[in-house]
Structure 1
Amino acid sequence: MITINDTIKEEVINFYNKERVKDTHKGDYGRVYIIAGSKGMTGAAALCSMAALRSGCGLSYIVTKVASMPVYETLVPEAVKICVTSDKSNDYFTVEDVDTIFDNIKNPACIVIGPGLGNNIKTKQFVRRFLKRYNISGLNNIPIIIDADAINSFADRLGLLADCVNENCVITPHCMEASVLSGQSLDYICENREAFVADLVKKLGCTVVLKGNKTLIGCPGKQNDVVIYRNTSGNPGMATGGSGDVLAGIISGFIATDSKIDGVFNCARYGVYVHGMCGDIAMEKYGQRFITATCLIDQLGEIHRRGY
């Protein structure tokens, strides 16, 4: 059975505007590790990191190759950078980097993998190796967001991805990425979104965020049921490069700070709604044509200011 609900604005606002305990420190609000970016695609990791920080996480770590380090030092001074070097490449990730990355992930609250990684075949092999190890390691109880090029690394290999994920995972495809992953046609997915999400949830056993107009967020329910929430915020002006990277960052920030109380699925659907609210505020201020990914991040504070 499939249960479909709309995400309620008041529920999201109550979550978003929760006050923090006075006697706390950055370690209490979680470490987000972002494995993202490549030469020419550094903006994806930077946007994801900035969105995570603006969404409440205590510390954001950008895992990067040597060639990209100077860019992140300038773009995201608040983030901690973990520089990964290898004899194979300093422009993109390869399987030789997996051990180094695992050695450097300490006390994570959430991991993000995928934004801007690129489609180099060696990077795809890296993603598959990393996620396979994740699912059999001591980190497999840590929520991980699988986005963008990490999804593309499993093109027509849905069964392989199923072996690499668990209930702590969130996968965030748009319809084209979902088509590449599943082998289903784009037309079928667009015309049967609820049924497609339900099927993907059953096959993967994790939270699925199918991005688009009225984004769907699904997760396993009781027995063989699937619970789906339909997002009602957002607008077409958000169809712009980097918007998905910002969404991954917002969800990761919420997971890092609140998933132990609210759960990974709720953090994902709240993140989708807040992301859409940022788009709606930006549209109100500037119009749809003006919206950029950075513009979305800038509206996170406006939600607090307005109070709603």
Structure 2
Amino acid sequence: MVFGTGIDIIKIERVARLIEKEAFMKKFFTDREREYLKHKRAESAAGYFSAKEAIVKSMGTGFTGFKFKDVEVLREDNEPFVILHGNARKIAEDMGIGTIKVSISHEKDFAISSAIALKEVKGRGKEYLLKEYPLNILRKRENNSHKGTYGKVSIIGGSYTMSGAAILAANAALRTGSGLVNCVIPECIIERVASSVYEATYTPLNHSGGTINLTQKDINLILEKSDALSIGTGIGFEEKFLKPIEEILKLSRIPIVIDADAINILALDVNILKKERECSVILTPHPLEMSRLTGLSVNYINSNREEVAKKFAKEHNCILLLKGHETVVSNGDKVYINKSGNPGMATGGSGDVLTGIICSLLGQGYTAYESGVLGSYIHGLAGDMAYEVYGYGLKASDITNYIGQYVK
């Protein structure tokens, strides 16, 4: 149901003069808007300015009770969408506005925008309220559901010296909402892991030197009882794992997250990824691991993060999640730059938590690209909340404890 409509037109020349002033840009546009507009011509800035005016007209408020930057216009797949912050969001919610659609156009001298504010769909509640991308990817759970509805995931990882990695990934998967989590670990660490993750099930396997042995029979059993799996967290660098990784990629029809030492092992023969397969794959390297995969220097990778991630994803038919400040996620076509997170998350085990989150989302039925985008964002948000409490002293397990704040 339509709550209200708004339309606005502005002369581009007027905005062209104003955007030369840094104070104007900081007053009227958010950091993300300025990042987008800095590479665009004046008509784009005029369109955004006009869109904000149209949006508040559709709400029937004008800029009363909130700031210009509380109305944010962003783009996904080149389509504009609206995010409201602060009082603007509260006012919209109080009025029952569920979402605002916006359209922007321009010609030689003018930019014009139109906006339509839509009310909530009766009985559907909060999931239709304005929600920031990518949190708006999250799906509502139905009342008539059970643990099997939300995915059975397997975490293949852990070793005698790195049992904590499996613990962190499994707990993160549970906190993200997995119905069932199975830890595939060396038998020698089952007591440690099981005493820290009560809710999981376990597949303890034979090991040598504290690192897991994966046979063909093991692989078939794991794939048969899983909706998604991850491999790599804490397994240790062993060349013997290259063959099992290749077998998993060959046999799997479920999505896979490859992380940590599994990435370093895969770097021994990265062309395995180019072979025909039926499963989607997410790789989550940090810059040094990306260097091993590509042969490029870490400095080059850090200076060309989007380009490197997009090219690798396209050439190797995978989702590439390049970790670091402003994590890059690409499927070879789309690119998402994550803005959540903080330097306090640069701590051991943080990547294991991310793997658990992504694996859980895959098991719940999100696409590989959605899981990479949403997973990196939730990971960063939970880290931001942990940072408010612990500062630079936060631990990876602190991140896990805040995941549930956003998965609802």
Q: Same fold (TM over 0.5)?
A: yes
Q: Which 10-residue stretch deviates more, 70-79 or 238-247?
A: 70-79
* Secondary structure of the corresponding residue to residue 266 of structure 2: coil
Instruction: Decide whether the 8 Å contact of 1:64 with 1:82 is kept in 2.
Output: yes
Task: Please show how residues 211-226 of structure 1 align to structure 2 within 5 Å.
Answer: 211-220=323-332, 226=333
| Separation in 2, partners of 1:164, 1:136 | 8
2:313 partner amino acid: V
1:176 partner amino acid: L
The partner residue of 1:280 within 373, 380, 384 is 384
Task: Please show how residues 216-255 of structure 1 align to structure 2 within 5 Å.
Answer: 216-220=328-332, 226-255=333-362
Q: Tell me whether 1:107 sits opposite 2:225 in the alignment.
A: yes
**In the superposition, relative to structure 1, how do residues 165 and 290 fare at CA in structure 2: closer, same or farther (>3 Å)?**
farther
Task: State the match for 2:283 in structure 1.
Answer: 171
Structure 2 alignment gaps of length 5 or more: 1-75, 84-130
Instruction: Decide whether the 8 Å contact of 1:131 with 1:164 is kept in 2.
Output: no
**In the superposition, relative to structure 1, how do residues 164 and 34 fare at CA in structure 2: closer, same or farther (>3 Å)?**
farther
* Secondary structure of the corresponding residue to residue 224 of structure 2: coil
- Please state how far the C-alpha of 1:130 moved relative to its aligned partner: 1.8
**In the superposition, relative to structure 1, how do residues 146 and 74 fare at CA in structure 2: closer, same or farther (>3 Å)?**
same
The partner residue of 1:42 within 138, 157, 163 is 163
| Separation in 2, partners of 1:209, 1:4 | 18
Instruction: Decide whether the 8 Å contact of 1:66 with 1:90 is kept in 2.
Output: no
Instruction: Decide whether the 8 Å contact of 2:228 with 2:256 is kept in 1.
Output: yes
* Secondary structure of the corresponding residue to residue 208 of structure 1: strand
Instruction: Decide whether the 8 Å contact of 2:176 with 2:404 is kept in 1.
Output: no
| Separation in 2, partners of 1:94, 1:240 | 28
| Separation in 2, partners of 1:173, 1:166 | 22
Task: State the match for 1:257 in structure 2.
Answer: 364
* Secondary structure of the corresponding residue to residue 184 of structure 1: coil
The partner residue of 1:14 within 121, 124, 136 is 136
| Separation in 2, partners of 1:98, 1:185 | 36
| Separation in 1, partners of 2:133, 2:306 | 22
| Separation in 2, partners of 1:272, 1:191 | 20
Task: State the match for 2:179 in structure 1.
Answer: 58
Instruction: Decide whether the 8 Å contact of 2:205 with 2:213 is kept in 1.
Output: no
Instruction: Decide whether the 8 Å contact of 1:132 with 1:163 is kept in 2.
Output: no
**What's the C-alpha RMSD, in Å, of the aligned pairs?**
2.3
* Secondary structure of the corresponding residue to residue 406 of structure 2: helix
Q: Which 10-residue stretch deviates more, 208-217 or 77-86?
A: 77-86
Instruction: Decide whether the 8 Å contact of 1:65 with 1:90 is kept in 2.
Output: no
Task: Please show how residues 123-272 of structure 1 align to structure 2 within 5 Å.
Answer: 124-126=239-241, 128-137=242-251, 139=252, 141-163=253-275, 168-220=280-332, 226-259=333-366, 263-272=367-376
1:228 partner amino acid: V
Percent identity (aligned): 36
Instruction: Decide whether the 8 Å contact of 2:206 with 2:212 is kept in 1.
Output: no
Give the paired residue count. 284
Task: State the match for 1:92 in structure 2.
Answer: 211
- Larger strand proportion, structure 1 or 2? 2
Instruction: Decide whether the 8 Å contact of 2:291 with 2:297 is kept in 1.
Output: yes
| Separation in 2, partners of 1:106, 1:166 | 15
| Separation in 1, partners of 2:270, 2:222 | 29
| Separation in 1, partners of 2:276, 2:235 | 18
| Separation in 2, partners of 1:48, 1:85 | 21
Instruction: Decide whether the 8 Å contact of 1:35 with 1:112 is kept in 2.
Output: yes
**In the superposition, relative to structure 1, how do residues 84 and 164 fare at CA in structure 2: closer, same or farther (>3 Å)?**
farther
> Whose radius of gyration is greater, 1 or 2?
2
Instruction: Decide whether the 8 Å contact of 2:153 with 2:227 is kept in 1.
Output: yes
Between 1 and 2, higher relative CO (CA 8 Å, sep ≥ 6) is seen in 1
Instruction: Decide whether the 8 Å contact of 2:159 with 2:210 is kept in 1.
Output: yes
1:168-221 per-residue CA deviation (whole Å, 9 max, x = no partner) reads 10000000000012111111111111111122112211100000000000003x
| Separation in 2, partners of 1:104, 1:55 | 21
**In the superposition, relative to structure 1, how do residues 283 and 36 fare at CA in structure 2: closer, same or farther (>3 Å)?**
same
Task: State the match for 1:223 in structure 2.
Answer: none
Q: Which 10-residue stretch deviates more, 171-180 or 105-114?
A: 105-114
